[in-house]
A and B are shown apart, each in its own frame.
Chain A
Amino acid sequence: MIAFDAFRDGETARRLAAAIAAEAQPGRSYAFMEFCGGHTHAICRYAIAEMLPANLRMVHGPGCPVCVLPVGRVDAAIAIAERTGVTLCSFGDVLRIPGSHRRSLLSAKAAGADVRVVYSPLDALALAQALPDRQVVFFAVGFETTTPPTAAVLARARHLGIGNFSVFCNHVLTPPAIAAVLGEAADRPVLDGILGPAHVAAVTGADAFAGFARDARMPVVIAGFEPLDLLQAILMLVRQANSGAARVEIQFSRGVTAAGNRAAQALTAEVFEPRAHFAWRGLGQLAESGLRPRPGFAAWNAETRFEIGDPPPEPRTACRCAEILRGLAQPADCPLFGSACTPESPHGACMVSSEGACAAEWSYGRGRRRIWKELR
Chain B
Amino acid sequence: MCLALPMRVIEFLPGEMAVAERDGIRKEISVTLVPEVAIGDYVIVHVGFALAKLDPAEARRTLALIAEMAAPGPR
Considering only residues 102-156 of chain A, those with a C-beta below 8 Å from chain B are 119-123, 141-143, 145-146, 148-149, 152
Q: Are A202 and B33 in contact (CB under 8 A)?
A: no
Residue in B48, B67, B72 whose Cβ sees the most chain A Cβ within 10 Å: B48
A230 → chain B closest CB, angstroms: 11
Interface residue tally of chain B, by bracket? Answer: 35 or more
Considering only residues 21-75 of chain B, those with a C-beta below 8 Å from chain A are 30, 32-35, 42, 44, 46-49, 51-56, 58-59, 61-63, 65-67, 69-74
Q: CA A202 – CA B71 in complex, angstroms? A: 29
Nearest opposing residue in chain B for A16, CB measure: B70
For A202, give its contact among B52, B58, B74 (CB under 8 Å).
B52
Interface residue tally of chain A, by bracket? Answer: 35 or more
Q: CA A228 – CA B68 in complex, angstroms? A: 13
Is A375 part of the contact surface with B, judged by Cβ < 8 Å?
no
Find chain B residues with CB under 8 A from A254 CB. Answer: 54-56, 58-59, 62
Is A285 part of the contact surface with B, judged by Cβ < 8 Å?
no
Q: CA A15 – CA B51 in complex, angstroms? A: 32
Q: CA A252 – CA B71 in complex, angstroms? A: 21
Q: Are B48 and A199 in contact (CB under 8 A)?
A: no
Find chain B residues with CB under 8 A from A38 CB. Answer: 2-4
Q: Are B53 and A255 in contact (CB under 8 A)?
A: yes
Is A7 part of the contact surface with B, judged by Cβ < 8 Å?
yes
Is A186 part of the contact surface with B, judged by Cβ < 8 Å?
no
Find chain A residues with CB under 8 A from B61 CB. Answer: 253
Q: CA A148 – CA B6 in complex, angstroms? A: 18
Q: CA A110 – CA B72 in complex, angstroms? A: 57
Q: Are B2 and A1 in contact (CB under 8 A)?
A: no
Q: Are B2 and A65 in contact (CB under 8 A)?
A: yes
A216 → chain B closest CB, angstroms: 25
Q: Are A199 and B67 in contact (CB under 8 A)?
A: no
Q: Are A202 and B51 in contact (CB under 8 A)?
A: yes
Q: Are A91 and B1 in contact (CB under 8 A)?
A: yes
Q: Are A145 and B2 in contact (CB under 8 A)?
A: yes
Q: Are A92 and B35 in contact (CB under 8 A)?
A: no
Q: Are B33 and A267 in contact (CB under 8 A)?
A: yes
Find chain B residues with CB under 8 A from A88 CB. Answer: none
Find chain A residues with CB under 8 A from B55 CB. Answer: 253-255
Given A149-B48, A254-B55, A255-B53, A142 and B33 touching (CB < 8 A)? Answer: no
Nearest opposing residue in chain B for A119, CB measure: B48
Find chain B residues with CB under 8 A from A251 CB. Answer: 62
Q: Are B2 and A64 in contact (CB under 8 A)?
A: yes
Q: CA A65 – CA B49 in complex, angstroms? A: 18
For B62, give its contact among A15, A18, A253 (CB under 8 Å).
A253
B55 → chain A closest CB, angstroms: 5
Given A2-B59, A19-B71, A142-B1, A232 and B46 touching (CB < 8 A)? Answer: no
Q: Are A92 and B1 in contact (CB under 8 A)?
A: yes
For A203, give its contact among B52, B62, B71 (CB under 8 Å).
B52
Given A142-B1, A355-B2, A255 and B52 touching (CB < 8 A)? Answer: yes
Q: CA A264 – CA B56 in complex, angstroms? A: 22
Q: Are A199 and B4 in contact (CB under 8 A)?
A: yes
Find chain B residues with CB under 8 A from A235 CB. Answer: 69
B56 → chain A closest CB, angstroms: 5
Is A66 part of the contact surface with B, judged by Cβ < 8 Å?
yes
Find chain A residues with CB under 8 A from B47 CB. Answer: 91, 119-121, 142, 146, 149
Q: CA A263 – CA B36 in complex, angstroms? A: 10
Find chain A residues with CB under 8 A from B49 CB. Answer: 120, 122, 148-149, 152
Considering only residues 1-19 of chain A, those with a C-beta below 8 Å from chain B are 1-4, 6-7, 11-12, 14-16, 18-19
Fill in one digit per residue for A259-298: 1 if any B CB lies within 8 Å of its CB, else 0.
0010110010000000000000000000000000000000
User: Chain B interface (Cβ within 8 Å of chain A)?
Assistant: 1-4, 6, 30, 32-35, 42, 44, 46-49, 51-56, 58-59, 61-63, 65-67, 69-74
3 shortest interchain CB distances as A-B pairs: A120-B48, A15-B70, A202-B52
